[in-house]
């Protein structure tokens, strides 16, 4: 994607957010704004507290997530149109029972490949309540601190 195309898409999103900022927005507001800016395809997903827009203009696809209450941009990305997207035109509006951006979401529901210990969401590599040093309830310390002497409840010193 050319620098000019990227700049144009960024300017469009900023212009839209500036006109909508500090005001509640609706899916119809978003559609009207993008159509007036010459987008040939506009898909709007109307969520609980966010609106997600995927819009195509001049071979560039713009994806923006807005906060419905304020009109502020939550996230934005652009990329070149790919494959069958090139032939898309018109307007689609869909309603969703959820939202689209989870950057503030801290539910740890997804697989985190063992990076934390917040639930059983990491392929069993360190299940909840266990860490790398956990002996899973065993009282056997394998003689780790008795320096070969008797284990009478304390460390033996030489």
| In the predicted structure, residue 55 carries a pLDDT above the cut 60 | yes
In this structure, are strands 90-95 and 41-46 parallel, antiparallel, or unpaired?
Answer: parallel
Q: What is the distance between the alpha carbons of residues 63 and 141, in angstroms, rounded to a whole number?
A: 56
Q: What is the distance between the alpha carbons of residues 126 and 139, in angstroms, rounded to a whole number?
A: 20
Q: What is the distance between the alpha carbons of residues 63 and 99, in angstroms, rounded to a whole number?
A: 14
pLDDT of residue 1: 60
Residue 9 burial class via C-beta count within 10 angstroms: exposed 0-12, middle 13-18, buried 19 and up: buried
How does DSSP classify residue 9? H
**Over pLDDT 70: what percentage of the chain?**
50
> Count of CB atoms within 10 A of residue 127's CB?
16
The pTM assigned to this predicted structure is 0.55
pLDDT of residue 77: 96
- Lowest-pLDDT range, 56-65, 100-109, 139-148? 139-148
Q: What is the distance between the alpha carbons of residues 105 and 150, in angstroms, rounded to a whole number?
A: 52
HSE at residue 47, side-chain half, CA atoms within 13 A, is 14
pLDDT of residue 130: 46
**pLDDT tens digits, 73-94:** 999 999 999 999 999 999 999 9
Cβ-count burial 63-80 (b if 16+ within 10 Å, e if not): bbbbbbebbebbebebee
């Amino acid at each position: 994607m050319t620098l000019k195309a990227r700049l144009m898409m960024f300017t469009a999103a900023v212009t839209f957010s500036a006109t909508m900022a500090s005001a509640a927005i609706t899916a119809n507001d978003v559609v009207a704004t993008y159509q007036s800016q010459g987008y040939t395809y506009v898909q709007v997903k109307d969520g609980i507290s966010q609106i997600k827009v995927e819009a195509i203009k001049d071979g560039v696809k713009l994806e923006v997530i807005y906060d419905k209450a304020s009109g502020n941009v939550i996230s934005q990305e652009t990329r070149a149109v790919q494959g069958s997207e090139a032939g898309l035109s018109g307007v689609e509006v869909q309603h969703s029972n959820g939202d689209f951006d989870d950057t503030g979401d801290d539910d740890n529901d997804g697989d985190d490949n063992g990076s934390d210990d917040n639930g059983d969401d990491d392929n069993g590599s360190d299940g909840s309540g266990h860490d790398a040093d956990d002996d899973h309830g065993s009282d056997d310390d394998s003689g780790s601190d008795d320096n070969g002497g008797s284990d009478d409840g304390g460390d033996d010193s030489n």
